[in-house]
Structure 1
Amino acid sequence: MRCLGLIVLLLFAGPAWSQTIVASVEPLAKLLRSLYGPEVEVVTLLQANQNPHQLALSPRQVMQVRDADLLVWLGAGVEAPLAPLVARRNRPSVALLEQPTVERREGEHAHHEHGHEHDHPDHSDAHHNASLDPHLWLSIKNMQLLAQAVANAMPGGLLQGQPEVWLQQADATRVTLRQQLAPHGNTDWLSYHHPWGYFSETMGLAEPVQVSVQLDAGPGSRRFVALAEEIRDRELHCMIVEPEARVNMLERLCPECQAVALDPLGRDQPSLHYLPWLNTLGEGFARCLQARG
């Protein structure tokens, strides 16, 4: 009976994690799960039901940031609410923006979209990066830099051959996706915001017609009518719809467009590691761009 009780206890016991890494957003966690073995727990700080544009941490999330063996985040320039918590940590942290050769893109209204307000005088770095596109994880090169930095910061628990194996796989994925999307490089497409800048630049895609930049009024405005006419004249047939997009407005602007829903944060596919998830983005773009109304 004692043996049976021990077996039952083992069956219901959780995994014996020896270290915990907290990633600020899901794409960073997807990378980390590719690199580390089962003895390392990877936790995503931003939950699927939280608004990434207005980040407010719960007491439990504050404790996760404090207690993590390693914290992996984007950096104060785009995640200003985390900066004071990171500064109080006495354990290692890795910020993507602090990597020397990180790729940065300018993104209009990026500062506003991610809820990092201008009334925080102590966050001078955030103010300096007010126009920085925060979707840094959609650059494969950036994620390769992060993989190496994380492995250097916490080598314990890495899977055999990592991060070198993953870095090679990332190179191959970039080549494959560029080849897949090459026929659509000059195809126009529609997006409400434009969180895809790093991805589209890496893959050689055209810049989208960005609705949020052109419209600051409702459907009855002259700008709306002019934009709808531009979309018809350019014969757009593809719109990429992120979760925060105003779908009804997009559908009125381009009723003939094929709509493909993709989440730049990967919240809809939590089980996928980073490179397989990137492949699903490539497949979604290819399906949309090759469609005809």
Structure 2
Amino acid sequence: MTGSLPRPSCNAHCHVFGPAGLFPFDQLSPPPTAEAPKEALFALNDALGLERCVIVQSKVHGYDNRATEDAIAARPATYRGIALVPTDVSDAELKRLDVAGFRGVRFNYMHHLGEGDSVEAVLRLAGRIARLGWHLQVHGDPSVVLEEIVPCLLKGPVPVVIDHIGRIDAALGLDQHHFDAMRRLMNHPACWMKVSGIDRITRKGPPYADAVPFARTLVSEYTDRVVWGNDWPHPNHQGPIPDDRELVSRISDIAPEEAARHALMVSNPARLYGFGENV
């Protein structure tokens, strides 16, 4: 299964939750169904052959990025982070997070996560994180993200990364309006896509035959601006929790060509997250 992964492959989207005794959960956000500490993430990535990793701060911990920061500190050469911060965060805090290994800021526009920040405020922040070489990451309902939010953010000075294939509905097929809108956005040189989340957009379940073609099309057409992640521990998942080994096994379907697979798993995340020269 993992033998086909190029080295050093990157899991570019996952989370850590807790332990709550050290890193309390945000009282304004729904708590996770279980803790997901760094030790469990390290063991899973190691078993799957994923040597590099990007931990995305979750609403579970709100703006308290310490759980993510602690995990990065344990593997500083190979782990990076995406922060959650208020749009009026201080420049000093941004610089501190940069030194700690963070490389971007995520904004949520999903109904269950509350009202998202205004585009104007996010663009003002983008002007400040540009100096750090960071990017924006956006997660949300496709009708909002693909048609309202990202088109505006792409007018700013930093790259914009769309989560989980835009959370589109695979049942609507490759000719659907939302996928057309996504491909138009991807024609912009600053737009990136996480081809994570085939387990979230599927309506058939594993082996995700309805969802894989979306990821494969994006990898084929925009080879230099796609990254992959497993989204462990799969928070707020509406279906059965996926088997991470199954998700890794689908990488060869998403990127059947060796060069595209290397770009997806190694060279693209190295550029986007600053992993250094080994690409």
TM-score tier, shorter chain, comes to: under 0.3
What TM-score do the two structures reach when normalised by structure 2? 0.28
Greater RCO structure (CA 8 Å; 6+ sep)? 2
